[in-house]
Structure 1
Amino acid sequence: MAGKQAAELPRKVYEAELLRLQTELVKLQEWVRATGARLVVIFEGRDAAGKGGTIKRVTEHLNPRIARIAALPKPTERERTQWYFQRYVEHLPAAGEIVLFDRSWYNRAGVERVMGFCTKEEYQLFLRHCPIFERMLVESGILLRKYWFSVSDTEQQDRFRKRLEDPLRRWKLSPMDLESITHWEAYSRAKDEMLVHTDVSDAPWYVVESDDKRRARLNMMAHLLSTVPYHDVPPPVLELPKRPPSTGYERPPRDLQTYVPDHAASL
Protein backbone atom coordinates (compact mmCIF):
# COMPACT_ATOMS: atom_id res chain seq x y z
CA MET A 1 0.00 0.00 0.00
CA ALA A 2 1.36 3.38 -1.02
CA GLY A 3 2.39 5.72 1.75
CA LYS A 4 1.47 9.34 2.17
CA GLN A 5 2.83 11.54 -0.58
CA ALA A 6 5.61 13.98 0.13
CA ALA A 7 5.07 17.73 0.14
CA GLU A 8 4.30 19.44 -3.16
CA LEU A 9 7.39 20.07 -5.26
CA PRO A 10 8.64 23.66 -5.38
CA ARG A 11 7.88 25.24 -8.75
CA LYS A 12 11.54 25.91 -9.62
CA VAL A 13 12.51 22.30 -8.90
CA TYR A 14 9.53 21.06 -10.89
CA GLU A 15 10.20 23.27 -13.91
CA ALA A 16 13.89 22.36 -14.06
CA GLU A 17 13.21 18.63 -13.95
CA LEU A 18 10.28 18.97 -16.36
CA LEU A 19 12.54 20.60 -18.93
CA ARG A 20 15.16 17.88 -18.49
CA LEU A 21 12.59 15.12 -18.98
CA GLN A 22 11.05 16.88 -21.98
CA THR A 23 14.51 17.06 -23.53
CA GLU A 24 14.83 13.31 -23.04
CA LEU A 25 11.40 12.81 -24.60
CA VAL A 26 12.63 14.62 -27.72
CA LYS A 27 15.54 12.16 -27.82
CA LEU A 28 13.06 9.31 -27.43
CA GLN A 29 11.01 10.72 -30.29
CA GLU A 30 14.05 10.84 -32.57
CA TRP A 31 14.92 7.26 -31.64
CA VAL A 32 11.37 6.17 -32.50
CA ARG A 33 11.59 7.97 -35.84
CA ALA A 34 15.01 6.62 -36.74
CA THR A 35 14.41 3.01 -35.70
CA GLY A 36 10.81 2.69 -36.89
CA ALA A 37 9.62 1.80 -33.41
CA ARG A 38 5.92 2.01 -32.53
CA LEU A 39 4.99 3.33 -29.10
CA VAL A 40 1.52 3.38 -27.54
CA VAL A 41 0.97 5.11 -24.19
CA ILE A 42 -2.42 4.75 -22.51
CA PHE A 43 -3.61 7.35 -19.99
CA GLU A 44 -6.50 6.23 -17.81
CA GLY A 45 -7.93 7.34 -14.49
CA ARG A 46 -10.88 9.12 -12.95
CA ASP A 47 -12.11 12.47 -14.23
CA ALA A 48 -9.76 15.29 -13.13
CA ALA A 49 -7.02 12.82 -12.25
CA GLY A 50 -4.43 14.79 -14.23
CA LYS A 51 -4.26 12.81 -17.47
CA GLY A 52 -4.77 15.77 -19.79
CA GLY A 53 -2.23 17.98 -18.07
CA THR A 54 0.38 15.23 -18.20
CA ILE A 55 -0.27 14.55 -21.88
CA LYS A 56 0.12 18.25 -22.58
CA ARG A 57 3.55 18.30 -20.92
CA VAL A 58 4.64 15.06 -22.60
CA THR A 59 3.84 16.37 -26.09
CA GLU A 60 4.74 20.03 -25.56
CA HIS A 61 8.02 19.87 -27.49
CA LEU A 62 7.38 16.82 -29.67
CA ASN A 63 6.76 16.77 -33.40
CA PRO A 64 2.99 16.36 -33.96
CA ARG A 65 3.74 14.39 -37.12
CA ILE A 66 5.44 11.76 -34.97
CA ALA A 67 3.66 11.99 -31.61
CA ARG A 68 -0.12 12.37 -31.77
CA ILE A 69 -2.95 12.22 -29.28
CA ALA A 70 -5.95 9.93 -29.75
CA ALA A 71 -8.93 11.21 -27.75
CA LEU A 72 -11.92 9.47 -29.28
CA PRO A 73 -15.48 10.76 -28.81
CA LYS A 74 -18.34 8.45 -27.99
CA PRO A 75 -18.85 5.82 -30.70
CA THR A 76 -21.17 6.46 -33.61
CA GLU A 77 -24.14 4.23 -34.29
CA ARG A 78 -22.08 2.43 -36.94
CA GLU A 79 -19.12 1.97 -34.58
CA ARG A 80 -21.44 0.46 -31.98
CA THR A 81 -22.05 -2.45 -34.36
CA GLN A 82 -18.34 -3.09 -35.00
CA TRP A 83 -15.92 -5.30 -33.12
CA TYR A 84 -15.33 -3.30 -29.94
CA PHE A 85 -11.59 -2.74 -30.49
CA GLN A 86 -12.00 -1.84 -34.17
CA ARG A 87 -12.22 1.93 -33.87
CA TYR A 88 -9.11 2.01 -31.70
CA VAL A 89 -7.07 -0.13 -34.09
CA GLU A 90 -7.12 2.53 -36.81
CA HIS A 91 -5.40 4.95 -34.42
CA LEU A 92 -2.48 2.62 -33.63
CA PRO A 93 0.95 3.86 -34.75
CA ALA A 94 2.80 2.96 -37.91
CA ALA A 95 6.60 2.68 -37.91
CA GLY A 96 8.25 5.74 -36.39
CA GLU A 97 5.15 6.98 -34.58
CA ILE A 98 4.00 7.56 -30.99
CA VAL A 99 0.33 7.55 -30.04
CA LEU A 100 -0.92 8.73 -26.67
CA PHE A 101 -4.44 7.54 -25.87
CA ASP A 102 -6.32 10.06 -23.72
CA ARG A 103 -8.65 7.33 -22.52
CA SER A 104 -8.76 4.16 -24.56
CA TRP A 105 -10.50 0.85 -25.02
CA TYR A 106 -10.65 0.73 -21.23
CA ASN A 107 -13.76 2.93 -21.42
CA ARG A 108 -15.64 -0.34 -21.42
CA ALA A 109 -14.15 -1.33 -18.07
CA GLY A 110 -14.92 2.06 -16.54
CA VAL A 111 -17.64 4.47 -17.56
CA GLU A 112 -19.49 1.99 -19.79
CA ARG A 113 -19.56 -0.58 -17.03
CA VAL A 114 -20.58 1.83 -14.26
CA MET A 115 -23.11 3.87 -16.24
CA GLY A 116 -24.70 0.90 -17.96
CA PHE A 117 -23.60 1.81 -21.50
CA CYS A 118 -22.73 -1.83 -22.20
CA THR A 119 -24.35 -5.11 -21.26
CA LYS A 120 -22.94 -7.44 -18.64
CA GLU A 121 -22.10 -9.89 -21.43
CA GLU A 122 -20.21 -7.22 -23.41
CA TYR A 123 -18.27 -6.27 -20.28
CA GLN A 124 -17.31 -9.87 -19.48
CA LEU A 125 -16.27 -10.40 -23.09
CA PHE A 126 -14.06 -7.32 -22.89
CA LEU A 127 -12.28 -8.61 -19.79
CA ARG A 128 -11.52 -11.88 -21.60
CA HIS A 129 -10.50 -10.34 -24.91
CA CYS A 130 -8.48 -7.34 -23.69
CA PRO A 131 -5.37 -9.26 -22.52
CA ILE A 132 -5.43 -11.24 -25.77
CA PHE A 133 -5.75 -8.07 -27.84
CA GLU A 134 -2.89 -6.38 -26.01
CA ARG A 135 -0.73 -9.48 -26.28
CA MET A 136 -1.23 -9.33 -30.05
CA LEU A 137 -0.10 -5.69 -30.05
CA VAL A 138 3.01 -6.47 -28.02
CA GLU A 139 3.90 -9.54 -30.06
CA SER A 140 3.59 -7.47 -33.24
CA GLY A 141 6.35 -5.20 -31.90
CA ILE A 142 4.34 -2.34 -30.41
CA LEU A 143 5.75 -0.87 -27.20
CA LEU A 144 2.66 -0.63 -24.97
CA ARG A 145 2.65 1.36 -21.73
CA LYS A 146 -0.46 1.73 -19.54
CA TYR A 147 -0.77 4.36 -16.80
CA TRP A 148 -3.57 4.67 -14.26
CA PHE A 149 -3.71 8.11 -12.61
CA SER A 150 -4.96 7.68 -9.06
CA VAL A 151 -6.62 10.67 -7.39
CA SER A 152 -8.37 10.83 -4.01
CA ASP A 153 -12.04 11.71 -3.69
CA THR A 154 -11.32 14.96 -1.82
CA GLU A 155 -8.75 16.09 -4.39
CA GLN A 156 -11.07 15.25 -7.28
CA GLN A 157 -13.88 17.31 -5.76
CA ASP A 158 -11.51 20.21 -5.18
CA ARG A 159 -10.41 20.11 -8.83
CA PHE A 160 -14.02 19.95 -10.01
CA ARG A 161 -14.82 22.99 -7.86
CA LYS A 162 -11.89 24.96 -9.30
CA ARG A 163 -12.93 24.07 -12.85
CA LEU A 164 -16.46 25.29 -12.19
CA GLU A 165 -15.05 28.64 -11.05
CA ASP A 166 -12.49 29.00 -13.86
CA PRO A 167 -13.89 30.20 -17.23
CA LEU A 168 -10.77 28.91 -19.01
CA ARG A 169 -11.28 25.37 -17.72
CA ARG A 170 -15.05 25.20 -17.40
CA TRP A 171 -15.22 23.33 -20.72
CA LYS A 172 -13.43 20.38 -19.11
CA LEU A 173 -16.49 19.59 -17.00
CA SER A 174 -19.52 17.72 -18.27
CA PRO A 175 -22.64 16.49 -16.46
CA MET A 176 -21.14 12.99 -16.73
CA ASP A 177 -18.01 14.16 -14.91
CA LEU A 178 -20.01 15.59 -12.03
CA GLU A 179 -22.20 12.51 -11.86
CA SER A 180 -19.07 10.41 -11.32
CA ILE A 181 -18.87 11.89 -7.80
CA THR A 182 -22.01 10.00 -6.85
CA HIS A 183 -20.57 6.76 -8.26
CA TRP A 184 -17.19 6.90 -6.54
CA GLU A 185 -17.34 3.41 -5.03
CA ALA A 186 -18.76 1.88 -8.20
CA TYR A 187 -15.84 3.29 -10.17
CA SER A 188 -13.45 2.00 -7.51
CA ARG A 189 -14.84 -1.52 -7.79
CA ALA A 190 -14.73 -1.34 -11.59
CA LYS A 191 -11.10 -0.20 -11.49
CA ASP A 192 -10.14 -3.00 -9.10
CA GLU A 193 -11.77 -5.63 -11.30
CA MET A 194 -10.18 -4.16 -14.40
CA LEU A 195 -6.72 -4.42 -12.85
CA VAL A 196 -7.31 -8.02 -11.77
CA HIS A 197 -8.04 -9.06 -15.36
CA THR A 198 -5.76 -6.78 -17.38
CA ASP A 199 -2.66 -6.18 -15.24
CA VAL A 200 -0.74 -8.93 -17.01
CA SER A 201 2.94 -9.55 -17.67
CA ASP A 202 2.63 -8.76 -21.39
CA ALA A 203 1.00 -5.39 -20.67
CA PRO A 204 1.23 -4.38 -17.01
CA TRP A 205 -0.48 -1.38 -15.44
CA TYR A 206 1.56 1.36 -13.77
CA VAL A 207 -0.25 3.41 -11.13
CA VAL A 208 0.61 7.10 -10.84
CA GLU A 209 -0.27 8.80 -7.55
CA SER A 210 -1.69 12.08 -8.84
CA ASP A 211 -2.96 14.19 -5.94
CA ASP A 212 0.18 16.28 -6.56
CA LYS A 213 0.01 17.14 -10.26
CA ARG A 214 3.62 18.24 -10.57
CA ARG A 215 4.96 15.11 -8.95
CA ALA A 216 2.63 12.91 -11.02
CA ARG A 217 3.81 14.41 -14.30
CA LEU A 218 7.48 14.00 -13.48
CA ASN A 219 7.02 10.48 -12.14
CA MET A 220 5.09 9.31 -15.19
CA MET A 221 7.52 10.85 -17.69
CA ALA A 222 10.59 9.51 -15.89
CA HIS A 223 9.07 6.04 -15.70
CA LEU A 224 8.15 5.98 -19.39
CA LEU A 225 11.69 6.99 -20.34
CA SER A 226 13.12 4.29 -18.08
CA THR A 227 11.12 1.55 -19.80
CA VAL A 228 12.08 2.29 -23.41
CA PRO A 229 15.57 1.31 -24.62
CA TYR A 230 16.13 4.53 -26.55
CA HIS A 231 19.47 6.17 -27.21
CA ASP A 232 20.77 9.39 -28.72
CA VAL A 233 20.33 9.60 -32.47
CA PRO A 234 22.77 12.10 -34.00
CA PRO A 235 20.78 14.83 -35.74
CA PRO A 236 21.50 15.56 -39.40
CA VAL A 237 24.13 18.21 -40.00
CA LEU A 238 22.34 21.36 -41.11
CA GLU A 239 23.80 24.65 -42.25
CA LEU A 240 22.03 27.86 -43.14
CA PRO A 241 22.54 28.52 -46.86
CA LYS A 242 23.82 31.87 -47.98
CA ARG A 243 21.09 34.20 -49.12
CA PRO A 244 21.39 34.70 -52.89
CA PRO A 245 21.76 38.22 -54.29
CA SER A 246 18.61 40.16 -55.14
CA THR A 247 17.12 39.72 -58.59
CA GLY A 248 15.08 42.92 -58.40
CA TYR A 249 11.99 41.72 -56.51
CA GLU A 250 9.93 44.53 -54.96
CA ARG A 251 7.23 43.97 -52.36
CA PRO A 252 3.75 45.23 -53.36
CA PRO A 253 2.49 48.36 -51.56
CA ARG A 254 1.14 47.59 -48.10
CA ASP A 255 -2.21 49.25 -48.82
CA LEU A 256 -3.02 46.50 -51.32
CA GLN A 257 -3.26 43.96 -48.49
CA THR A 258 -5.43 43.72 -45.38
CA TYR A 259 -3.41 43.59 -42.17
CA VAL A 260 -4.50 42.45 -38.72
CA PRO A 261 -5.03 45.52 -36.49
CA ASP A 262 -2.24 46.15 -33.98
CA HIS A 263 -4.14 45.19 -30.85
CA ALA A 264 -0.88 44.92 -28.89
CA ALA A 265 -0.27 48.67 -29.37
CA SER A 266 -3.33 49.42 -27.25
CA LEU A 267 -2.02 47.56 -24.21
Structure 2
Amino acid sequence: MAKKDKQGKGAKDKISNDVYEAELFRLQAELVKVQQWVRHTGARVVVIFEGRDAAGKGGTIKRISEYLSPRIVRIAALPTPTEREKGQWYYQRYVSHLPAAGEIVLFDRSWYNRAGVERVMGFCTPQEYSRFMRQTPIFEQMLVEDGVLLRKYWFSVSDEEQLRRFRSRLNDPVRQWKLSPMDLESISRWEDYSRAKDEMLVHTDVPTSPWYIVESDVKKHARLNMMAHLLSTIPYEDVPHEEVHLPDRPAASSGYERPPRELSTYVPDHVAQLRGDPERDL
Protein backbone atom coordinates (compact mmCIF):
# COMPACT_ATOMS: atom_id res chain seq x y z
CA MET A 1 0.00 0.00 0.00
CA ALA A 2 1.36 3.40 -0.94
CA LYS A 3 2.52 5.57 1.93
CA LYS A 4 0.16 8.44 2.65
CA ASP A 5 1.52 11.97 2.94
CA LYS A 6 0.12 14.82 5.05
CA GLN A 7 -2.60 15.52 2.53
CA GLY A 8 -3.82 11.92 2.51
CA LYS A 9 -2.69 11.37 -1.06
CA GLY A 10 -0.62 8.35 -1.96
CA ALA A 11 2.95 9.61 -2.32
CA LYS A 12 3.35 7.77 -5.62
CA ASP A 13 0.30 9.60 -6.99
CA LYS A 14 1.76 13.08 -6.50
CA ILE A 15 3.83 14.63 -9.23
CA SER A 16 7.39 15.56 -8.41
CA ASN A 17 8.36 19.14 -7.68
CA ASP A 18 10.42 19.26 -10.86
CA VAL A 19 7.47 18.20 -13.01
CA TYR A 20 5.20 20.63 -11.17
CA GLU A 21 7.53 23.60 -11.63
CA ALA A 22 8.07 22.83 -15.31
CA GLU A 23 4.38 22.47 -16.08
CA LEU A 24 3.48 25.50 -13.97
CA PHE A 25 5.90 27.64 -15.94
CA ARG A 26 4.56 26.30 -19.25
CA LEU A 27 1.01 27.18 -18.25
CA GLN A 28 2.08 30.60 -17.01
CA ALA A 29 3.73 31.24 -20.37
CA GLU A 30 0.43 30.37 -22.07
CA LEU A 31 -1.37 32.78 -19.75
CA VAL A 32 0.96 35.52 -20.96
CA LYS A 33 -0.24 34.71 -24.48
CA VAL A 34 -3.84 34.98 -23.25
CA GLN A 35 -3.04 38.37 -21.77
CA GLN A 36 -1.60 39.60 -25.06
CA TRP A 37 -4.59 38.21 -26.97
CA VAL A 38 -7.02 39.92 -24.59
CA ARG A 39 -5.26 43.25 -25.00
CA HIS A 40 -5.05 42.88 -28.78
CA THR A 41 -8.66 41.80 -29.35
CA GLY A 42 -10.37 43.81 -26.61
CA ALA A 43 -11.79 40.67 -25.04
CA ARG A 44 -13.22 40.79 -21.52
CA VAL A 45 -12.57 37.85 -19.19
CA VAL A 46 -14.03 37.19 -15.74
CA VAL A 47 -12.84 34.24 -13.67
CA ILE A 48 -14.65 33.47 -10.42
CA PHE A 49 -12.89 31.57 -7.66
CA GLU A 50 -15.16 30.11 -4.99
CA GLY A 51 -14.85 27.36 -2.42
CA ARG A 52 -14.46 26.75 1.27
CA ASP A 53 -11.91 28.58 3.37
CA ALA A 54 -8.39 27.19 2.84
CA ALA A 55 -9.43 25.43 -0.36
CA GLY A 56 -6.51 26.90 -2.30
CA LYS A 57 -8.15 29.73 -4.23
CA GLY A 58 -5.63 32.40 -3.25
CA GLY A 59 -2.61 30.28 -4.08
CA THR A 60 -3.98 29.51 -7.52
CA ILE A 61 -4.77 33.16 -8.20
CA LYS A 62 -1.22 34.05 -7.16
CA ARG A 63 0.27 31.60 -9.67
CA ILE A 64 -2.04 32.75 -12.45
CA SER A 65 -1.20 36.43 -12.00
CA GLU A 66 2.50 36.01 -11.16
CA TYR A 67 3.86 37.06 -14.57
CA LEU A 68 0.91 39.09 -15.82
CA SER A 69 0.56 42.85 -16.03
CA PRO A 70 -1.57 44.45 -13.26
CA ARG A 71 -2.70 46.95 -15.90
CA ILE A 72 -4.48 44.15 -17.74
CA VAL A 73 -5.14 41.51 -15.09
CA ARG A 74 -6.81 42.66 -11.86
CA ILE A 75 -7.70 40.74 -8.72
CA ALA A 76 -11.01 41.69 -7.11
CA ALA A 77 -11.18 40.64 -3.46
CA LEU A 78 -13.94 42.76 -2.00
CA PRO A 79 -14.23 43.40 1.76
CA THR A 80 -17.40 43.34 3.82
CA PRO A 81 -19.94 45.70 2.22
CA THR A 82 -20.28 49.16 3.70
CA GLU A 83 -23.59 50.47 4.96
CA ARG A 84 -24.05 52.35 1.69
CA GLU A 85 -23.31 49.24 -0.35
CA LYS A 86 -25.83 47.27 1.68
CA GLY A 87 -28.45 49.71 0.42
CA GLN A 88 -27.51 49.19 -3.24
CA TRP A 89 -28.70 46.64 -5.77
CA TYR A 90 -26.88 43.51 -4.60
CA TYR A 91 -24.75 43.07 -7.74
CA GLN A 92 -23.85 46.76 -7.98
CA ARG A 93 -20.53 46.72 -6.14
CA TYR A 94 -19.39 43.74 -8.20
CA VAL A 95 -20.43 45.33 -11.49
CA SER A 96 -18.03 48.21 -10.83
CA HIS A 97 -15.14 45.72 -10.89
CA LEU A 98 -16.07 44.03 -14.16
CA PRO A 99 -13.48 44.31 -16.95
CA ALA A 100 -13.44 46.85 -19.72
CA ALA A 101 -12.22 45.86 -23.17
CA GLY A 102 -8.77 44.29 -23.02
CA GLU A 103 -8.94 43.35 -19.32
CA ILE A 104 -9.12 40.21 -17.18
CA VAL A 105 -10.59 40.22 -13.68
CA LEU A 106 -10.02 37.40 -11.20
CA PHE A 107 -12.70 37.44 -8.50
CA ASP A 108 -11.34 36.03 -5.23
CA ARG A 109 -14.88 35.31 -4.02
CA SER A 110 -17.71 37.04 -5.77
CA TRP A 111 -21.43 37.71 -5.76
CA TYR A 112 -21.74 34.08 -4.68
CA ASN A 113 -21.05 35.22 -1.11
CA ARG A 114 -24.83 35.44 -0.86
CA ALA A 115 -25.22 31.75 -1.69
CA GLY A 116 -22.53 30.75 0.82
CA VAL A 117 -21.50 32.66 3.90
CA GLU A 118 -24.47 35.04 3.86
CA ARG A 119 -26.90 32.15 3.60
CA VAL A 120 -25.22 30.02 6.27
CA MET A 121 -24.48 32.80 8.75
CA GLY A 122 -27.82 34.54 8.34
CA PHE A 123 -26.40 37.74 6.85
CA CYS A 124 -29.23 37.91 4.32
CA THR A 125 -32.96 37.35 4.58
CA PRO A 126 -34.68 34.32 3.02
CA GLN A 127 -36.27 36.69 0.52
CA GLU A 128 -32.89 38.15 -0.47
CA TYR A 129 -31.47 34.66 -0.85
CA SER A 130 -34.36 33.45 -3.02
CA ARG A 131 -34.08 36.56 -5.18
CA PHE A 132 -30.35 35.93 -5.62
CA MET A 133 -30.90 32.35 -6.75
CA ARG A 134 -33.52 33.49 -9.25
CA GLN A 135 -31.65 36.50 -10.59
CA THR A 136 -28.07 35.23 -10.78
CA PRO A 137 -28.46 33.05 -13.89
CA ILE A 138 -30.17 36.02 -15.57
CA PHE A 139 -27.43 38.42 -14.46
CA GLU A 140 -24.71 36.10 -15.73
CA GLN A 141 -26.54 35.50 -19.00
CA MET A 142 -26.53 39.26 -19.53
CA LEU A 143 -22.76 39.29 -19.08
CA VAL A 144 -22.25 36.39 -21.46
CA GLU A 145 -24.58 37.82 -24.10
CA ASP A 146 -22.65 41.08 -23.92
CA GLY A 147 -19.48 39.19 -24.82
CA VAL A 148 -17.88 38.64 -21.42
CA LEU A 149 -15.99 35.34 -21.16
CA LEU A 150 -17.22 34.12 -17.76
CA ARG A 151 -15.60 31.14 -16.03
CA LYS A 152 -16.66 29.86 -12.59
CA TYR A 153 -14.51 27.50 -10.48
CA TRP A 154 -15.41 25.84 -7.19
CA PHE A 155 -12.40 24.56 -5.22
CA SER A 156 -13.45 21.43 -3.36
CA VAL A 157 -11.47 20.46 -0.26
CA SER A 158 -12.20 17.67 2.22
CA ASP A 159 -12.98 18.45 5.84
CA GLU A 160 -9.83 16.63 7.00
CA GLU A 161 -7.59 18.59 4.66
CA GLN A 162 -9.24 21.90 5.51
CA LEU A 163 -8.69 21.27 9.22
CA ARG A 164 -5.05 20.34 8.57
CA ARG A 165 -4.52 23.61 6.71
CA PHE A 166 -6.19 25.61 9.46
CA ARG A 167 -3.90 24.01 12.04
CA SER A 168 -0.82 24.74 9.95
CA ARG A 169 -1.73 28.43 9.93
CA LEU A 170 -2.14 28.77 13.68
CA ASN A 171 1.57 29.28 14.41
CA ASP A 172 2.71 30.45 10.99
CA PRO A 173 3.68 34.15 11.27
CA VAL A 174 3.16 34.81 7.56
CA ARG A 175 -0.18 33.03 7.25
CA GLN A 176 -1.91 33.68 10.57
CA TRP A 177 -3.77 36.57 8.97
CA LYS A 178 -5.59 34.03 6.81
CA LEU A 179 -7.41 32.69 9.87
CA SER A 180 -10.46 34.60 11.03
CA PRO A 181 -13.29 33.82 13.45
CA MET A 182 -15.48 33.26 10.39
CA ASP A 183 -13.04 30.64 9.11
CA LEU A 184 -13.12 28.75 12.40
CA GLU A 185 -16.90 28.98 12.49
CA SER A 186 -16.97 27.10 9.20
CA ILE A 187 -15.54 24.00 10.93
CA SER A 188 -18.65 23.49 13.03
CA ARG A 189 -20.91 24.40 10.09
CA TRP A 190 -19.38 22.05 7.53
CA GLU A 191 -22.68 20.38 6.62
CA ASP A 192 -24.49 23.72 6.43
CA TYR A 193 -21.94 24.95 3.91
CA SER A 194 -22.22 21.66 2.01
CA ARG A 195 -25.98 22.06 1.69
CA ALA A 196 -25.58 25.69 0.65
CA LYS A 197 -23.06 24.71 -2.04
CA ASP A 198 -25.31 21.93 -3.35
CA GLU A 199 -28.29 24.27 -3.59
CA MET A 200 -26.18 26.93 -5.28
CA LEU A 201 -25.13 24.46 -7.97
CA VAL A 202 -28.73 23.36 -8.56
CA HIS A 203 -29.76 26.93 -9.38
CA THR A 204 -26.65 28.43 -11.00
CA ASP A 205 -24.85 25.57 -12.79
CA VAL A 206 -26.47 26.32 -16.12
CA PRO A 207 -25.29 25.80 -19.72
CA THR A 208 -24.62 29.49 -20.36
CA SER A 209 -22.44 29.83 -17.23
CA PRO A 210 -21.51 26.40 -15.85
CA TRP A 211 -19.56 25.64 -12.68
CA TYR A 212 -16.31 23.70 -12.88
CA ILE A 213 -15.27 21.74 -9.78
CA VAL A 214 -11.56 21.66 -8.89
CA GLU A 215 -10.50 18.90 -6.52
CA SER A 216 -8.03 20.70 -4.29
CA ASP A 217 -6.83 18.36 -1.54
CA VAL A 218 -3.45 18.46 -3.30
CA LYS A 219 -2.74 22.12 -3.96
CA LYS A 220 -0.21 21.66 -6.73
CA HIS A 221 -2.50 19.35 -8.67
CA ALA A 222 -5.41 21.76 -8.22
CA ARG A 223 -3.41 24.68 -9.57
CA LEU A 224 -2.25 22.85 -12.68
CA ASN A 225 -5.66 21.31 -13.36
CA MET A 226 -7.51 24.61 -13.01
CA MET A 227 -5.02 26.60 -15.08
CA ALA A 228 -4.94 24.01 -17.86
CA HIS A 229 -8.73 23.91 -17.98
CA LEU A 230 -9.06 27.69 -18.06
CA LEU A 231 -6.65 27.86 -21.00
CA SER A 232 -8.65 25.17 -22.83
CA THR A 233 -11.82 27.27 -22.64
CA ILE A 234 -10.42 30.54 -24.03
CA PRO A 235 -10.08 30.85 -27.83
CA TYR A 236 -6.78 32.70 -27.67
CA GLU A 237 -4.03 32.62 -30.24
CA ASP A 238 -0.64 34.16 -30.74
CA VAL A 239 -0.88 37.80 -31.72
CA PRO A 240 1.69 39.68 -33.79
CA HIS A 241 4.09 41.86 -31.90
CA GLU A 242 7.14 43.87 -32.79
CA GLU A 243 10.47 42.28 -32.07
CA VAL A 244 12.45 44.08 -29.41
CA HIS A 245 16.11 44.79 -30.04
CA LEU A 246 18.44 46.25 -27.47
CA PRO A 247 20.21 49.32 -28.86
CA ASP A 248 23.94 49.68 -28.64
CA ARG A 249 25.07 51.58 -25.61
CA PRO A 250 26.16 55.06 -26.70
CA ALA A 251 29.66 56.21 -26.03
CA ALA A 252 30.06 57.97 -22.70
CA SER A 253 29.26 61.63 -23.04
CA SER A 254 32.02 63.99 -22.11
CA GLY A 255 31.78 66.09 -19.03
CA TYR A 256 29.37 64.03 -16.93
CA GLU A 257 30.44 63.18 -13.41
CA ARG A 258 28.32 61.17 -11.00
CA PRO A 259 27.51 63.14 -7.83
CA PRO A 260 29.42 62.10 -4.71
CA ARG A 261 27.84 59.15 -2.92
CA GLU A 262 27.66 61.16 0.30
CA LEU A 263 25.00 63.44 -1.18
CA SER A 264 22.45 60.62 -1.40
CA THR A 265 20.75 58.54 1.29
CA TYR A 266 21.22 54.84 0.61
CA VAL A 267 19.30 51.91 2.06
CA PRO A 268 21.35 50.37 4.91
CA ASP A 269 23.23 47.19 4.00
CA HIS A 270 21.16 44.70 5.98
CA VAL A 271 22.78 41.84 4.03
CA ALA A 272 26.16 42.68 5.58
CA GLN A 273 24.82 41.51 8.92
CA LEU A 274 23.67 38.25 7.36
CA ARG A 275 27.16 37.77 5.95
CA GLY A 276 28.62 38.32 9.40
CA ASP A 277 30.41 41.49 8.36
CA PRO A 278 30.05 43.78 11.43
CA GLU A 279 32.75 46.12 10.17
CA ARG A 280 30.56 47.13 7.25
CA ASP A 281 29.37 50.73 7.49
CA LEU A 282 25.58 50.40 8.01
Superposition TM-score tier, normalisation by shorter sequence:
over 0.9
Superposed CA deviations along residues 77-133 of structure 1, whole A, max 9, x for unmatched, are 000000000000010000110000000000000000000000000000000010000
Superposed CA deviations along residues 137-174 of structure 1, whole A, max 9, x for unmatched, are 00000000000000000000000000112111111110
Asked whether 1:149 is paired with 2:155, we answer yes
1 CA distance for matches of 2:9 and 2:143? Answer: 34
Q: 1:219 to 1:5 in 2, by over 3 A?
A: farther
Secondary structure at 1:186 match in 2: helix
Structure 2 matches for 1:1-267, cutoff 5 A? 7-245=13-251, 246-267=253-274
Rg larger in structure: 2
Secondary structure at 2:114 match in 1: helix
- Please list every run of 5 or more consecutive structure 1 residues that lacks an aligned counterpart in the other structure: none
Deviation at 1:266, TM superposition (A): 1.7
Q: 1:5 to 1:28 in 2, by over 3 A?
A: farther
2 CA distance for matches of 1:228 and 1:30? Answer: 13
Deviation at 1:242, TM superposition (A): 3.2
Deviation at 1:5, TM superposition (A): 7.0
Deviation at 1:8, TM superposition (A): 2.2
- Please list every run of 5 or more consecutive structure 2 residues that lacks an aligned counterpart in the other structure: 1-7, 275-282
Q: Which amino acid aligns with 1:104?
A: S
**Identity %, equivalent residues:** 75
1 CA distance for matches of 2:227 and 2:107? Answer: 15
After TM superposition, the score normalised by the length of structure 1 is 0.96
Moved more, 257-266 or 236-245: 236-245
1 CA distance for matches of 2:195 and 2:14? Answer: 29
1 CA distance for matches of 2:210 and 2:59? Answer: 23
Secondary structure at 2:160 match in 1: helix
Deviation at 1:234, TM superposition (A): 2.7
After TM superposition, the score normalised by the length of structure 2 is 0.91
Superposed CA deviations along residues 216-263 of structure 1, whole A, max 9, x for unmatched, are 000000000000010111332222233344152222111111111111
Task: Give the count of matched residue pairs.
Answer: 264
